[in-house]
């Protein structure tokens, strides 16, 4: 070994515990040198090894009749008929976005796109889920919102992948730790899907795409696996810089390489760069890889081997190519102006060797890199005292209902997202059947006349009230969004955004939430095909609200029958479908009244949720219904108002329940001919007029509702 042996305390600086370091020494039979220690510290970080969450995640159901690729690949995939597979995944880029929101969010998009085309699928849609501090009180949160949205638009728009949906919420707990979760969907012929397992000793390892620089050195351990403190400006050099033009060429180039069947394996470079990608490719294939760092094209001179091995420079892919096909690969890459360089080879022995001018500078068995990292059990303890304080109050609580409704619609949490989604291209690709604000889920046409539907959802306030039920409700609500366009769920991906799991109360939130997601997925028969975990989202002020984000994809048989949320015709009956037991706990109204997230959530009967969703789905598919909208944040009153504003028409309703209470996922507002609506549930009113009138409660002109709703977020963006 040419590199020097690491000093005793070095492992601690790199985030490894003394026990982990001792285990490494035991497994290697020697002290690792500095290059090896840098590589291992990243591979054994929470971000790469999921050491605090892996055991828990085994609880999630992963099997389903449509599953083509499950957890463990770059992205999961489900069959969507006609020989096509839909790959999808959600991933977080929270900490980079908190440090530098534009590049953090942009490279979040870039990273998830690569995960999807790494399995051979053409990216066809992006959705994003964002959380920030209160925009009314925090200039920093307005800045983060503005720059993160600009970053997502910059990257997504420039690569020609439409941003078709998303969600955005605010809470003081996200002040220091904003959340930027991005989901991507990709479509591929099933036969073209490719795995990342390296194979065939003697085959060539090639690096495609951008040059390797010093950006993002140690990002996985520095940013993603430790709490953010007050003085994090010095971490800015750890944030990567995105280049969507290079990504665009890389996408087209990789898809052409796959179409021509020139690759044995393909893998993106994400967190921990070459180290992680090469380790995973080797481990999955049960082979080894030799990498010569002198052959890696560099953006700056004088980079040490460990820097080259852990650089997180963006827009790079690693592939394995049979020697006789290297020339053809180079030809395709040259046509797309994508640099392609052989940097190593596949070997028999399952180890990753790093060479520099013929000298071995690191040699690590893949078993130590990938499998030896200890997995930790959480030590969950339900907290005796509330974790989160009350949010600032916007309402006194004694306002008349009409004023309350206008305040809810005009709140940053519920107002129109137009100021955000107008900065994204939702239509490139010519598949988008339902754009943002037309329906509860985005709908994308497939070549055979059917369509995909996708939605992304999460509600940290409800999860804070009751992690198990709140997380289950996120699944139910996301599936409800799909039902509203007529789609049946095929698969789910999730991103678990939580605080420090080594703290018992966060461990409790996390384990309860995973249980809730598992229960809801089992109840609805939805397999979890992949996901991501983002822990340590804490600041000195405490953890973020526990925020599991779920993305569900589904399919509907007839794209032209896709549902809309707007009330469509005067005289249509308005119906309430599903069992609805609204409560104030964790509601938007409770938040506006300055109440902390607390109290039991309504318990759902899963069969009732299934039945309600099936009724709405079938009503939309058969075109018996003219509109469908799930009753979520803001309760029945807000759901009705949204249907009125979208249709620019009023409604007269007799509400059978408390109008601002919430019980998301199992209840819907639908409209259509009276017989069709009455067949699904109680008729509660009629579409028509110029005001929303809830008998005995409130009456507000639709124009006033629209004005409040349109202004609510626009005033901050």
Partner 1 sequence: MKFGVVRFPGSCDELDALAAARRVGEAVLLWHAERDLQGVDAVIIPGGFSYGDYLRAGAIARFAPVMEAVAEFARDGGLVLGICNGFQVLCEARLLPGALLPNTSLRFVFRQVELEVADADTPFTCACPPDRRLSIPVKHTTGRYFSPEPVRVVLRYAPGHNPNGSQDDIAGVCNEAGNVFGLMPHPEHAVDPLTGSTDGLSIFASIAQGHVRQHVLA
- Note whether 336 binds partner 1 by CB under 8 A: yes
Residue from 245, 381, 614, 715 that binds partner 1 (CB under 8 A)?
Answer: 245
Residue 576's CB: how many other CB atoms inside 10 A?
25
Calpha distance 76→115 (Å, rounded): 10
| Radius of gyration of the chain measured on its C-alpha atoms | 25
- Note whether 705 binds partner 1 by CB under 8 A: no
- Decide whether 51 or 434 has the Cβ nearer to partner 1: 434
- Note whether 423 binds partner 1 by CB under 8 A: yes
- Note whether 375 binds partner 1 by CB under 8 A: no
Site for partner 1 in 532-591 (CB under 8 A): 559-560
Residue from 23, 28, 136, 150 that binds partner 1 (CB under 8 A)?
Answer: 150
Q: Which stretch binds partner 1 (CB under 8 A): 75-83, 155-163, 489-497, 527-535?
A: 155-163
Calpha distance 151→135 (Å, rounded): 18
Q: Which stretch binds partner 1 (CB under 8 A): 152-160, 315-323, 602-610, 690-698?
A: 152-160
639 CB-near residues (< 8 Å, 6+ apart): 629, 630, 631, 632, 669
Q: Pattern of binders to partner 1 over 445-484, x per CB under 8 A?
A: x---------------------------------------
- Decide whether 271 or 442 has the Cβ nearer to partner 1: 442
Strand order in the sheet with 547-556: 432-434, 442-445, 451-457, 547-556, 488-497, 528-534
- Spell 313-342 as b/e; 16+ CB within 10 A means b: bbbbbbbbbbeebbeebbebbeebebbbbb
Q: What are phi and psi of 364, to 5 degrees?
A: -130, 130
Residue from 191, 430, 540, 696 that binds partner 1 (CB under 8 A)?
Answer: 430
* Nearest distance, CB of residue 243 and partner 1, angstroms: 7
- Kind of pairing between the strands at 340-347 and 573-577: unpaired
Residue from 51, 66, 235, 249 that binds partner 1 (CB under 8 A)?
Answer: 249
- Decide whether 426 or 531 has the Cβ nearer to partner 1: 426
- Decide whether 250 or 293 has the Cβ nearer to partner 1: 250
**8-state DSSP, 176:** S
47, 95, 505, 626: the catalytic one is 47
Calpha distance 219→217 (Å, rounded): 6
Residue from 73, 171, 175, 243 that binds partner 1 (CB under 8 A)?
Answer: 243
Calpha distance 421→223 (Å, rounded): 28
* Nearest distance, CB of residue 280 and partner 1, angstroms: 29
Q: Whose structure tokens read 């060429």?
A: 249
- Note whether 424 binds partner 1 by CB under 8 A: yes
- Decide whether 5 or 423 has the Cβ nearer to partner 1: 423
No. of H helices and E strands in the chain? Answer: 24, 28
Tokens of 634: 């803001």
Answer yes or no: are the C-beta atoms of 647 and 568 closer than 8 Å.
yes
Residue from 5, 158, 328, 699 that binds partner 1 (CB under 8 A)?
Answer: 158
Calpha distance 640→659 (Å, rounded): 10
Calpha distance 14→709 (Å, rounded): 48
Give the total of residues touching partner 1 (CB under 8 A): 31
Is 93 labeled as catalytic in the residue annotation? yes
* Nearest distance, CB of residue 429 and partner 1, angstroms: 7
Binding site for partner 1 (CB under 8 A): 150, 153-154, 157-160, 243-246, 248-249, 336-337, 421-433, 445, 559-560
Catalytic positions = 47, 93
């Amino acid at each position: 070994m040419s590199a020097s042996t690491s000093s005793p305390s070095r492992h601690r600086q790199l985030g490894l515990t003394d026990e982990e370091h001792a285990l490494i020494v035991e497994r290697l039979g020697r002290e690792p040198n500095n290059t090896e220690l840098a590589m291992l510290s990243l591979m054994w970080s929470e971000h790469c090894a999921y050491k605090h969450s892996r055991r828990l995640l085994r609880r999630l159901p992963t099997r389903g009749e449509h599953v083509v690729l499950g957890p463990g690949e770059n992205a999961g995939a489900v069959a969507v008929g006609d020989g096509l597979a839909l790959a999808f995944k959600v991933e977080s880029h929270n900490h980079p976005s908190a440090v530098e929101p534009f590049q953090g969010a942009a490279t979040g998009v870039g990273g998830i796109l690569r995960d999807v085309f790494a399995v051979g699928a053409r990216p066809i849609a992006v959705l994003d889920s964002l959380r920030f501090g209160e925009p009314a009180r925090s200039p920093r949160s307005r800045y983060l919102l503005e720059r993160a949205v600009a970053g997502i638009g910059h990257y997504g728009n420039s690569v020609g992948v439409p941003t078709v949906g998303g969600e955005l919420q605010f809470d003081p707990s996200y002040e220091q730790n904003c959340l930027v979760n991005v989901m991507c969907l990709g479509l591929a012929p099933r036969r073209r899907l490719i795995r990342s397992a390296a194979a065939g000793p003697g085959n060539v390892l090639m690096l495609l795409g951008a040059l390797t620089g010093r950006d993002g050195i140690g990002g996985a351990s520095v940013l993603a696996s430790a709490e953010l403190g007050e003085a994090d400006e010095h971490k800015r050099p750890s944030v990567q810089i995105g280049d969507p033009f290079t990504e665009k060429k890389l996408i087209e180039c990789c898809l052409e390489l796959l179409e021509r069947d020139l690759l044995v394996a393909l893998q993106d470079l994400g967190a921990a760069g070459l180290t992680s990608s090469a380790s995973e490719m080797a481990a999955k294939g049960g082979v080894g890889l030799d990498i010569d760092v002198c052959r890696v094209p560099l953006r700056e001179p004088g980079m040490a081997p460990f820097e080259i091995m852990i650089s997180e420079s963006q827009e790079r892919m690693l592939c394995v190519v049979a020697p006789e096909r290297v020339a053809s690969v180079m030809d395709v890459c040259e046509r797309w102006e994508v640099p392609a360089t052989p940097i190593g080879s596949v070997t028999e022995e399952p180890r990753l060797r790093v060479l520099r001018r013929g000298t071995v500078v690191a040699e690590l068995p893949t078993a130590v890199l990938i499998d030896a990292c200890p997995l930790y059990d959480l030590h969950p303890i339900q907290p005796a005292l509330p974790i989160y304080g009350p949010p600032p109050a916007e309402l006194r609580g004694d306002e008349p209902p009409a004023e309350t409704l206008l305040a809810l619609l005009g709140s940053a949490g519920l107002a129109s997202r137009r100021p955000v989604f107008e900065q994204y291209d939702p239509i490139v690709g010519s598949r988008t059947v339902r754009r943002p604000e037309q329906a509860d889920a985005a709908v994308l046409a497939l070549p055979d006349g059917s369509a995909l539907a996708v939605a992304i959802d999460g509600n940290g306030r409800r999860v804070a009230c009751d992690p198990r039920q709140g997380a289950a409700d996120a699944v139910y609500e996301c599936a409800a969004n799909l039902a509203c366009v007529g789609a049946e769920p095929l698969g789910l991906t999730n991103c678990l955004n939580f605080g420090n799991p080594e703290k018992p109360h966060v461990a409790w939130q996390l384990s309860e939430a995973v249980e809730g997601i598992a229960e809801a997925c089992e109840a609805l028969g939805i397999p979890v095909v992949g996901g991501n975990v983002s822990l340590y989202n804490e600041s000195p002020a405490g953890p973020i609200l526990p925020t599991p984000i779920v993305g569900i994809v589904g399919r509907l048989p007839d794209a032209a029958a896709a549902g809309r949320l707007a009330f469509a015709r005067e005289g249509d009956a308005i119906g309430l479908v599903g069992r609805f037991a609204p409560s104030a706990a964790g509601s938007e109204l409770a938040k506006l009244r300055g109440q902390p997230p607390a109290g039991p959530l309504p318990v759902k009967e899963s069969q009732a949720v299934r039945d309600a969703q099936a009724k709405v789905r079938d009503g939309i598919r058969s075109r018996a219904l003219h509109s469908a909208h799930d009753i979520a944040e803001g309760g029945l009153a807000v759901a009705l108002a949204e249907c009125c504003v979208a249709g620019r028409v009023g409604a007269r309703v007799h509400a059978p329940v408390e109008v601002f209470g919430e019980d998301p996922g199992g209840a819907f507002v639908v409209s259509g001919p009276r017989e069709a609506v009455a067949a699904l549930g109680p008729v509660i009113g009629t579409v028509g007029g110029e005001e929303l009138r809830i008998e005995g409660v409130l009456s507000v002109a639709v124009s006033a509702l629209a004005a409040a709703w349109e202004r609510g977020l626009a005033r901050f963006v």
